[in-house]
Amino acid sequence: MAYVVVMWCIACGRPSGPLCASCVDSLRPGHTSVVGNSLAVAPFAHLGAAARLVRLMKYRRLMAAASYLVDAMADLVPPDASCLVPVPRAVVRRARYGIDPAGVLAAGLAARTGIPMVEGLKGPVWWPQRAGRGRSRRSPVRFRNSRPVPVRAVLVDDVLTTGATVLGALVAVDPTRDRGVRVLTATSVGTMRHGANTAPNLGGDVASKSPRNGLRPAAGSATAPHPLAHSRKESE
């Protein structure tokens, strides 16, 4: 008996995988930013299929989406990194959605790179969402150390938006800003046009952005809604 195996696009559900051509075309390169004097990199901009993959991981616990993101992030892990430190999700959201995205990403990266994961941060029970809030309305996120974090650690998170959450984590693990801590996220949010040379400061002394991989934007690329798309706004 012959069997036909059909793969489905992780991001949109079309019969093509792991990502269909349309979703691949929607990917945009991530950028380098400076947050609190620490270098922050991401393989993808928070647009198109990349943004959908993050949402499916965060709100639907889709591990295939997490695996795809980890594969892209692995190439950006510094070779001299001492450990991977996930930036924990708020306790209330972790309980509500049943997943800590940064923990999942950090564990996947540890398995792929051999660099140990250190759960060195404890976060508050809840904090307001970061996306869409003006700088004057951003409340600080206060993390604390749950165990010592060595020098040259890499903070891992799912999305870099305003930089306030990551900055709070950096203050906890590197208050003197001399421990060589870096930041790696799956996607980054920005208002810059592709190819621009400067970006708004994300909580550091200076900030700049530059393409981090060979992806190029495809003009007029189409994206389709995921068949499991939720009508409620899913954001943090």
Domains of the chain: 28-188 (3.40.50)
pLDDT at 210: 41
Q: What are the pLDDT digits (tens) for 88-113?
A: 999 999 999 999 999 999 999 999 99
Sign for the CA dihedral angle at 102, 194, 29, 52 comes to positive
Q: Write the single-letter amino acid at 180.
A: G
Instruction: Please count the helices (runs of H) and the strands (runs of E) in the chain.
Output: 6, 8
Return the pLDDT at 139: 60
* CB-count exposure of residue 70 (10 Å: 0-12, 13-18, 19+): buried
Helix or strand or coil: residue 160?
Answer: strand
pLDDT digits (tens, 9 = 90+) for 133-169: 444 455 668 899 888 999 999 999 999 988 889 999 9
Q: Please, what sign has the CA dihedral across residues 224, 50, 166, 101? A: positive
With a cut of 50, list the residues of the chain below it in pLDDT. Answer: 132-136, 191-236
